[in-house]
Structure 1
Amino acid sequence: MAEHPAYPVGLRLTGRRTVVLGGGQVAQRRLPALIAAGADIHLVSPEATPSVEAMADAGEITWHRRPYTEGDLADAWYALIATSDTEANTRASAEAEAHRVWCVRSDDADAATAWTPATGSSEGVTVAVLTSRARGRDPRHTAAIRDAVVEGLRDGTLVAPHHRTRTPGVALVGGGPGDPDLITVRGRRLLAEADVVIADRLGPRDLLAELPPHVEVIDAAKIPYGRFMAQEAINNALIEHARQGKSVVRLKGGDPYVFGRGMEELQALAEAGIPCTVVPGISSSISVPGAAGIPVTHRGVAHEFTVVSGHVAPDDERSLVDWPSLAKLTGTLVVLMGVDKIGRIAETLVAHGKSPDTPVALVQEGTTAAQRRVDATLATVAATVVAQDVKPPAVIVIGEVVAVGRTGTA
């Protein structure tokens, strides 16, 4: 029997009696999948780990607090034997054989009638990997293969074509702060499946080079505006391509809903009857300071942080920011899109009570190879920006956490 490979099969255990012997670490790892499968689980063990006990307390499993006894496997469909008592495991394995119950043994795979594959899932697909017995069982090798396949499915580097018709629509994908590795797994997968990608300048541009040749990549900044405003033209482009039956990804920098005008695009698509999926992204407001060594909060220094847009100056009638109130806060202030307005922002904060010595950090091109950090204070930041030729995109951090990030101490 050992010369033949195992026959792979998927067990449908919903409502069917499944017996687990032993409440230790093996049971703790295997029980969640059995619970998810809807099995009628009976745990036989005098003791259990806190996590396994919590499953019993929640009613997810039935716990018989005693050692294994003959007859425990009667009427079972599947058994997992994982006690620390080798003699009890052997007797239970013999009972399983006698009752034709498929049985996994954690202590002796050769004595088992079933093996547990290394499993993972992605978007409704379960990947299960078994090593051929003839080549020897190496759980680490099997798990590594499983991980590689699942990761490839999740991040889109392993693309399986859809043979059924996909529903056309738009995905608003937050691409993160710039480093292509910081896009979400779901965002990367949707990019790999797209027919059309409409990308912002601040999106992770390196990801576009990985797209298949047939994917149409459109620079949002170069969409002809004509009689339309820029955002309206982008909305129309999204609608037009989706109506052609294409899968469209709107690739945006950061998160679609953090100064990304994502809701405007969602509303336009909804009015046009176009289905839309929103994929959150890592916002530059926290990730870029972090990449530069600055924590936006720190025990004993800042108990809150506030993110504001600096695209209009404090004295501009279009500004919706209450700058005088922000000046009174003791926490961290993160300003996005404010490089060219930072002088007036600093003056306003100081005029309403913020210390001129308050530390300021400007992080340009955060998380990319071109990242650089420039430090100043509210009193010197305007001159520093000019002297150091700081250009957007840059995230501006104002507060004592800047000093924490610079020295490692408060």
Structure 2
Amino acid sequence: MTFLIAGAGPAGARLAAVLSEAGREVVLVERLTDPHRNSFSSAALSCGEASRLNLPHSAWSATWSGWQLLDPSGQEHQWWNDDPLGVVLDFGRLRSAMWSRARAAGVEVVTGCTARIEALQSDSARVLLQHGDGRRQHRHVQWVIDATGSSRCLLREASVPPPSLIDPLLEGIGVEWLLQADDRVSPRWLDRISFFLGTRWIPHGYGWIFPMGNNRLKVGVCCLAPGQIRGSKNDLLARLQALLRNCKLEGCSVLDRHGGVVSSSIARRESLGSGALLAVGDAASTANLLGGEGIRHAIDSADLLAETLLNAEARNQVGPDQADAVRQTYEQALHCWFGWRWRVAGKLAQRTWWGLDSASADRRVERIIHGLSRTSSAQDLSSLLFHYRFERYGLRLLRYLI
């Protein structure tokens, strides 16, 4: 079987490598030429997840052992663990390592290029590759995969129906700067991941500071507001600069500036393809908006899609009448893998970020943070925010959602 994957982020690159290692012919198309460009992803995750996903240690920029939340009044709340709880990835190095793995597996990696669907059938697709130097190529493949992230380029081209009005796409936009700090200002932010919650920092969103190696810091803000009141990029930049001033980081050198969009539905019941077209990663609504997470969920979706496609081939479910069955099997696998906690996390994200726009919302956030300070450990916080372990909060969480 021949696969063409558009987008060489974590989902696309992982899927390409797994399929090629299984002996399939794979073309991986990426519009960027340098894996370190536009490396927008704060990329914090637990040590256990980094190991489970077999993420290369070369991409581990820093480890962290504590959580630090700054509430709407500016008060700091900290939770610490004796051993490291998680890692912060260098997204550029991660993407570079994943491209190298794909090439080593035999994937044809085509950079500086975009893909467009010319014709789509139930058992094949014809794709136009448009290179940055003006060259055009035509490829005929059995499966084409949209791994273009929140832009969902191929899904839109194929007129795949978007999520319904009942379960629409929720969208957030963020900006992040990579700073070079020094020994005077960096210690306050090392060995921990820090979040800023409340309208003082940014309405309808949150800010963050994550440690990197060599006194470097990732500093960013993200806004997940209802569509009718979504702010501009200039608004975000103003909020980011205010956060830097408040944290006395405005004098640090800026090594990189980048930004991006994250979007996902909550119930994730939208169609993930049509005919020989399937979606993976953020294009398949695998970003979790509670903490703006994308990487580990995108990789999981790639592994699930690879398993679905390889199993379908083994059962000879690759004919013109089987595409819908393959897609439905994949969609069911995603729902089974992410489970009910996933949907609760999405509802929490909508409830929290859409409603964070007033003094009463700030007071609610402060009550939640103070409650976590009294009752939760650093490991509890990791279980809550990374693994969506909501059970211990019971009726309190239900009342909050209602």
* Larger Rg over CA atoms: 1
Q: TM-score, normalised by structure 2?
A: 0.25
Q: TM-score, normalised by structure 1?
A: 0.24
When you count helix as a share of all residues, which structure comes out higher?
A: 2
When you count strand as a share of all residues, which structure comes out higher?
A: 2
User: Which of the pair has the greater relative contact order for Cα pairs under 8 Å at 6+ separation?
Assistant: 2
